[in-house]
Amino acid sequence: MNLKGAGKPRPCDYGGNMQIGVSTATLYPMNTEDALLSLAELGIRNIEIFINCDTELNQPVRAELLGTVRAYSLDILAMHTMPWWEFFCLFSNYERRKAQFMDIYKRYFEFMNELGAGILVFHGANKNSSCSEKLYLERYDELIRLADTFGITIAQENVAYCKSGNLGFLTRMKRELGDRAKFTLDLKQAARSGYSAFEILEELGENIVHIHASDSKGEYGIHGDCLPIGHGSFDFAGFFRKLREINYSKGLILELYRENFSDSAELKESVHNLVNFYKNN
């Protein structure tokens, strides 16, 4: 598949204040720096970067990522890190491992400051983890406090195979942490957890600071999820109306899996469909 544009790209017409874009995760397993450049050459300006290995924080990859951001005047809305670190390090009972994890995250936060990314998307503990809810909230709050020193927001994502896949768990996080609890709403993960995205939006409301978008077919995506926008039946018109009700004007990022779209045309089509839903609802 050829994802590169011809000549200097025209930025997508985003309109209004909504920051609509694409995650580099959509092009996985393409190398992260190549995925970022491919999206930039498609004319995508708003981007979430998914870091796939620790070495991508080092040279020469780091310089390539920064170079592309500057050359194309990209807005990096968020960064997504490797979730298995969270599974086995942050929520571990082994204090030394947890301490090492915190030091590693300082490196991520420093790089995010260079990129201008303000949100770190967070999976959390696997739903089968022995980590208690009390310990989870203590460790999560510790990470929030560390991120605060770098001006970074930690946004807990609803993930079907994690504790965060349970809406009751997310509601309790919001109740216990108040305004300190921020969330990423992922539409496909909501479907895979058996929830309507509207339920989660209603429950978490103004604490949602980032959204992963994809289309789906049938209630709770029972006939397929993680589809290009316009290839399913999700009520995006209603969804954008609900976002307006809560004055949401932050990031809305297309996040598909590589097997769920054919070529660059479907990515651009998805972005433009999201823009049209936003403008017309």
| Domain 19-280 falls under CATH 3.20.20.100 | no
Say if CB 78 and CB 117 are below 8 A apart. yes
Output the CA torsion sign for 150, 155, 159, 161.
Answer: positive
Token reading at 100: 């090492």
Long-range pairs of 106-114 with CB within 8 A, sequence gap ≥ 24: 106/146, 106/150, 107/57, 108/51, 108/57, 108/79, 108/81, 109/146, 109/147, 109/150, 109/152, 110/150, 111/57, 111/62, 111/79, 112/76, 112/79, 112/150, 112/152, 113/150, 113/151, 113/152, 114/66
What is the three-class DSSP state of 23?
A: strand
Q: Considering the entire predicted model, what is its pTM?
A: 0.93
Percentage of the chain lying above the pLDDT 70 cut: 92
**Per-residue confidence (pLDDT) for residue 86, from 0 to 100:** 73
**Per-residue confidence (pLDDT) for residue 27, from 0 to 100:** 97
Decide if pLDDT at 4 tops 50. Answer: no
Decide if pLDDT at 147 tops 90. Answer: yes
Preceding amide of 60 cis, omega within 30: yes
Cα distance between residue 122 and residue 258, in whole Å: 21
Burial (CB count <10 Å: 0-12, 13-18, 19+), residue 280: exposed
**Pairing relation of β-strands 75-80 and 119-122?**
parallel
Continuous segment of H or E residues that includes residue 213: strand 208-213
Preceding amide of 29 cis, omega within 30: yes
Q: What is the pLDDT of residues 252-273, one digit of tens each?
A: 999 999 999 999 999 999 999 9
Cα distance between residue 126 and residue 132, in whole Å: 12
CB atoms within 10 A of CB 125: 24
Q: What is the pLDDT of residues 24-71, one digit of tens each?
A: 999 999 999 999 999 999 999 999 999 999 899 999 999 999 999 999
The residue behind tokens 């082994």 is 94
**Per-residue confidence (pLDDT) for residue 83, from 0 to 100:** 67
Which DSSP letter does residue 53 get?
S
**Per-residue confidence (pLDDT) for residue 205, from 0 to 100:** 94
Q: What is the pLDDT of residues 167-189, one digit of tens each?
A: 999 999 999 999 999 999 999 99
**Per-residue confidence (pLDDT) for residue 1, from 0 to 100:** 44
Query: How many residues in total does the chain contain?
Result: 281
